[in-house]
């Protein structure tokens, strides 16, 4: 079992699961406040449908990746590169939305609930909200190196987030959600940056294996090589935690490193600028 993939999956599962379950909790609480409890059943139905849609999406991509991997290693590299790049682009849109609207999430969800106050409307709203978070989880899973370990980690993270959201909804505990979401949003940015770096790395491997680019090409130059040291991202006692938490890679091509961290620091700069403006 890949410990790094397990931990990464657990963190992503917790982050996205907590947001999805809290969205449902906010919708249910709004219906309680407005004395419309009959619609709560429809919100719960949307939750179940959203989870099922996410699972089916994940299963479909899982089998596609497995089928491609069985054909040729070269084709698998191209698949991993393209999927990671698409995942990074989609997740970036979610990150930007959270940066702009995250602080007003409760009022936005309440307004959406009021605007869709019908049985069909609430089912669709809850389904879309949950499936959106599920899609993020699935996209990270597809780009992971050990998908089995990652899926197990996701399951653990989802269980923890569901339990926490339930306790918050029942007012059994009080949690500073702003701190939690800021920490997890920062982690999401780091992981999205890692997806970009991974896409570049796999893309270069594909071009080399197909002969499109020669190994002597400057693009393949390693910025540094810390393999088999304490900072090895797969086995090193320092490198492995850095890999899980920050997307550290111990043998990056210079172009991979440059693009990954240019993206990462640019998004952090956007977040900081927007926070200061507000």
Q: Give the model's confidence band at 278: pLDDT under 50 very low, under 70 low, under 90 confident, else very high.
A: low
Distance, CA of 216 to CA of 219 (rounded, Å): 8
Query: pLDDT class for 223, splitting at 50, 70, 90?
Result: very high
Which pLDDT belongs to residue 159? 94
Cα–Cα distance for residue pair 175/169, rounded to 1 Å: 11
Specify the pLDDT at position 71: 59
The 10s digit of each residue's pLDDT in 143-184 is 777 778 888 999 999 999 999 888 888 876 777 777 888 888
- The pLDDT assigned to 7 comes to 87
Mean pLDDT of the chain: 87
| Inter-residue contact 185 to 213 (CB < 8 Å) | no
pLDDT digits (tens, 9 = 90+) for 226-261: 988 999 988 888 988 888 888 888 999 999 999 999
3-state helix, strand, coil in the chain (%, to 5): 80, 0, 20
Read off the pLDDT of residues 64-121 as tens digits, 9 standing for 90 and up. 877 776 656 777 788 888 888 988 988 898 888 888 877 777 888 888 889 888 999 9
Q: What does the pLDDT read at residue 69?
A: 63
Distance CA 168, CA 175 (A): 7
Q: Bigger pLDDT: 25 or 170?
A: 25
Question: pLDDT at residue 44 above 90?
Answer: yes
| Structure confidence at residue 146 (pLDDT) | 78
- The pLDDT of residue 70: 60
What is the Cα–Cα distance from 98 to 185, expressed in whole angstroms? Answer: 8
Q: What is the pLDDT of residues 54-65, one digit of tens each?
A: 999 888 887 887
Higher pLDDT, 211 or 201: 201
Report, as an integer, the average pLDDT of 19-24. Answer: 89
Mean pLDDT over 202-207 rounds to: 90
List CB contacts of 15: < 8 A, sequence separation 6 or more.
157, 161, 184, 187, 188
pLDDT at 135: 86
Quote the CA–CA distance of 88 and 197 in Å, as a whole number.
10
Mean pLDDT of 6-24: 89
Question: 271 falls in which pLDDT band (50, 70, 90)?
Answer: very high
Task: Evaluate whether 142 touches 62 at the Cβ level (below 8 Å).
Answer: yes
| Overall pTM surpassing 0.75 (yes/no) | yes
pLDDT of residue 52: 94
pLDDT tier at 47, thresholds 50, 70, 90: very high
**Distance of alpha carbon 31 from alpha carbon 22, whole angstroms:** 14
The residue-averaged pLDDT of 127-133 equals 90
């Amino acid at each position: 079992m890949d410990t790094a993939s397990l931990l990464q999956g657990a963190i992503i599962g917790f982050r996205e699961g907590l947001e999805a379950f809290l969205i449902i909790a906010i919708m249910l609480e709004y219906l309680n406040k407005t004395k419309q409890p009959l619609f709560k059943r429809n919100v719960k139905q949307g939750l179940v449908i959203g989870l099922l849609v996410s699972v089916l999406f994940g299963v479909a991509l899982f089998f596609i990746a497995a089928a491609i991997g069985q054909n040729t290693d070269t084709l698998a590299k191209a698949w991993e590169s393209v999927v990671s790049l698409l995942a990074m682009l989609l997740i970036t849109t979610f990150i930007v939305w959270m940066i702009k609207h995250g602080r007003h999430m409760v009022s936005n969800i309440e307004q959406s609930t009021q605007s869709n106050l019908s049985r069909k409307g609430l089912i669709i709203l809850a389904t879309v909200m949950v499936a959106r978070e599920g899609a993020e989880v699935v996209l990270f899973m597809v780009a992971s190196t050990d998908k089995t370990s990652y899926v197990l980690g996701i399951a653990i993270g989802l269980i923890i987030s569901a339990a926490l959201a339930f306790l918050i909804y029942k007012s059994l505990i009080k949690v500073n959600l702003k701190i939690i979401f800021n920490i997890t949003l920062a982690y999401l940015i780091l992981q999205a940056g890692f997806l970009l770096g991974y896409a570049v790395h796999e893309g270069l491997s594909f071009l080399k294996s197909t002969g499109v680019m020669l190994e002597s090409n400057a693009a393949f130059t390693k910025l540094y090589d810390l393999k088999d040291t304490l900072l090895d991202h797969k086995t090193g006692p320092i490198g492995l935690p850095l890999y899980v938490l920050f997307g550290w890679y111990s043998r990056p091509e210079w172009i991979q490193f440059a693009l990954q961290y240019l993206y990462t620091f640019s998004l952090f700069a956007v977040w900081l600028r927007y926070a200061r403006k507000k």
